[in-house]
Amino acid sequence: MSDGFGRGLATADRWLGWVETRLNLVAGLLIFALMLLGVAQIALRTVFRAPIFGYIDIVEVSMVGFAVLAVSFVQRVGGHVRMELLVGRLKGRTLWVAEAVGTTLALFIVAVLIPYSYRHFERAFEFGDSTIDIEIVTWPAKLVVPVALTILLGRLALQLAGYVRLVIHPDREPVAVPLLKEVEETAAENIRQTDDAIPDDRPRAGPGENAA
Q: Which residue type does 62 have?
A: S
Contact, 129 vs 52, CB < 8 A? no
What local confidence, expressed as pLDDT, does residue 211 receive?
Answer: 45
Averaged in consecutive runs of 10 residues, what is the pLDDT profile of the chain (212 residues)?
A: 84 96 95 95 93 92 91 88 72 91 96 97 94 92 96 97 94 88 55 62 53 44
Per-residue confidence (pLDDT) for residue 212, from 0 to 100: 43
pLDDT at 103: 95
Distance CA 29, CA 177 (A): 27
Question: How would DSSP label each residue in 75-97?
Answer: HHHT-S----TTGGG--HHHHHH
**CA–CA distance, 71 with 20 (Å, rounded to integer):** 9
Structure confidence at residue 32 (pLDDT): 95
Q: Is 189 helix (H, G, I), strand (E, B) or coil?
A: helix
Q: Are 145 and 121 in contact (CB under 8 A)?
A: yes
SS3 58: helix
The domain ranges of the chain are: 7-177
Partners of 130 in the β-ladder: 137
